[in-house]
Amino acid sequence: MKEMASLLRIVADETRLRVLRLLSETPLNVTELTTILGLAQSGVSKQVGTLKKAGLVRERREGLKTFYRLSEEAEVPEEGRPLWVLLMDRVRSTEDNRHDLVRLADVLESREGDTPGLHERLLAPGESWHAWSRMIMTLLPSMKRAVDLGCGGGILTAELARACDEVVGVDISGPALSAARAHAERVGLTNVRFVEGDMTTLDMPDSCCDVAVLSQTLHHLPDPMVGLRVAARLLKAGGRLILMELLPHDEAWVTDKLGHLHLGFAATDLESMMEQAGFRITSLETLPPSRGERFRAVQACAVWE
Ligand SMILES: C[S@@+](CC[C@H](N)C(=O)[O-])C[C@H]1O[C@@H](n2cnc3c(N)ncnc32)[C@H](O)[C@@H]1O
């Protein structure tokens, strides 16, 4: 009875249940669990320690890393075994926490990237796309000013800065802009500045930009037409809009966890919204699904005339 009560106490905690759910998929280390759960590492370590002490997870060392896996039924204290079997059965079959599973897929994919030697890693797209983007940007005619609306961590903003005299990154999130500033500084850019604020009430003059980027920003706006109108207002005649969005999807967790207000857009709807805002579309491409990816993207270029 005592052991059953103690097992029930241990599993009566959401974080510990999420850890058990993740470890039922595959062994993970604390850094990986922290990335997936989005919690402080010290808290995750503590919960994993509690599960380990109770005999519900086991650890295994691999080189410098410690991985945790679920205990087998036989490793759990005898009195609690029927309860453990039932619990694991339920935990494995839950369909919630889908966002944990999406992040798990990301973590496992980046783990794959750790295994090849340096040569393979440098050739992998994840390692070489910055270099490619830099090279391709040098082929473009120099553009005076670009604005990256909803620039997030500023990776694209920094890439744009290679082809423009000046880039303005705009974002409503202070933490995202801190990351963007740190990135621009790390890569040594001096022609990028960041503006914190709501792009829909942005204090920038009309017709001041040659390029406007809206990359995965429209799905954050209550009325996406407003975002397109802001881009149109900021562009000079002949200026270019570069748009990237998600196609319709049913990953409803992005509303809570990522603040999305729209679950993607149909390419035809984006097309008519851009036209309604006064753009002439020069290209629109729906990207094919990529391995293990739950979202599909659509990219468009348009001219403000
Ligand atoms: C999914 S991220 C995209 C980041 C980046 N553009 C990219 O493609 O990697 C969307 C960004 O839009 C920002 N955002 C949302 N609503 C905004 C608003 N009204 N004004 C400015 N930025 C906004 C969010 O803070 C977030 O950083």
What are the φ/ψ torsions at residue 249 (nearest 5 degrees)? -145, 170
Q: Does 197 share its domain with 276?
A: yes
Average pLDDT, the chain: 86
Same domain, 134 and 87: no
Domain count of the fold of the chain: 2
Confidence at residue 128, expressed as pLDDT on a 0 to 100 scale = 66
φ/ψ (deg, to 5) at 52:
-70, -45
In this predicted model, which residue has the larger pLDDT, 8 or 105? 8
| 18 and 160 in a common domain | no
User: Residue written as tokens 């002949």?
Assistant: 238
Q: For residue 152, how far is its CA from the centre of ligand 1 (angstroms)?
A: 5
Query: Taking a C-beta distance cutoff of 8 angstroms, is the pair 200, 154 a contact?
Result: no
171 lines ligand 1 (CB under 6 A): yes
Pocket lining: 245 vs ligand 1, CB cutoff 6 Å: no
174/78 same-domain check: no
Q: Please give the residue range of the domain that contains residue 103.
A: 2-113
- Asked if 228 contacts 279 with a C-beta cutoff of 8 angstroms, the reply is yes
Higher pLDDT, 109 or 144: 144
Distances (CA, A) of 101 to 138, 228, 234, 259, 304: 39, 33, 40, 18, 41
The protein residue whose alpha carbon is closest to atom 18 in ligand 1 is 198
Contacts 24+ apart (CB under 8 A), 185-188: 187/158
* H-only helix segments in the chain: 2-11, 14-23, 30-37, 41-53, 81-93, 98-114, 118-123, 125-139, 155-160, 174-186, 224-234, 253-258, 267-276
Whole-number Å distance between alpha carbons of 197 and 257: 21
3-state SS string over 54-67?
CCCEEEEEECCEEE
* Phi, psi at 209, each rounded to 5°: -125, 150
Domain for residue 105, yes or no?
A: yes
Q: Domain end: 70, 86, 113, which one? A: 113
Q: Are residues 145 and 291 in the same domain?
A: yes
Whether 224 lines ligand 1, by a CB cut-off of 6 Å, is no
Residue 147 pLDDT: 97
The CA 178 to ligand 1 mean position distance, Å, reads: 13
- Using the atom order of ligand 1, give the atom closest to the CA of residue 152: 27
pLDDT tens track for 227-282: 999 999 999 999 999 999 999 998 888 898 889 999 999 999 999 999 999 999 99
In the predicted structure, residue 286 carries a pLDDT above the cut 70: yes
* Same domain assignment for residues 225 and 273: yes
pLDDT recorded at residue 271: 97
d(CA 300, CA 185) in angstroms, rounded, equals: 29
212 has a pLDDT exceeding 80: yes
Query: Is the beta carbon of 196 within 6 A of some atom in ligand 1?
Result: no
For range 124-131, the mean pLDDT:
58
Residues 283 and 250 in one domain: yes
Q: Per mean pLDDT, which range of 7-11, 60-64, 247-251 is the poorest?
A: 60-64
pLDDT in tens, 129-174: 666 777 777 777 778 999 999 999 998 998 898 889 999 999 999 9
Q: Does the pLDDT at position 209 exceed 90?
A: yes
In a domain, 118, yes or no: no
Q: Does one domain contain both 101 and 188?
A: no
pLDDT at 126 over 60: no
Q: Look up the CATH number of the domain holding residue 188.
A: 3.40.50.150
- Residue 103 in any domain: the answer is yes
Q: Are residues 201 and 79 in the same domain?
A: no
The pLDDT-based confidence of 108 (bands split at 50, 70, 90) is confident
* Same domain assignment for residues 257 and 153: yes
pLDDT, tens digit (0-9, with 9 covering 90-100), for 34-43: 888 888 888 8
CATH of the domain at 76: 1.10.10.10
Residue 113 pLDDT greater than 80, yes or no: no
User: Which pLDDT score, from 0 to 100, does residue 82 have?
Assistant: 82
Q: How far apart are CA 299 and CA 296, in angstroms?
A: 10
Is 117 a residue whose pLDDT tops 80? no
226, pLDDT greater than 90 = yes
Q: What is the DSSP letter of 150?
A: T
Which atom of ligand 1 is nearest the CA belonging to 198? 20
Q: Atom 27 in ligand 1: which residue has the minimum CA distance?
A: 152
15 Cβ below 6 A of ligand 1: no
Of 220, 249, 255, best ligand 1 pocket probe by most atoms within 8 Å of the beta carbon: 220
Verify whether ligand 1 is closer than 6 Å to residue 220 (CB atom).
yes
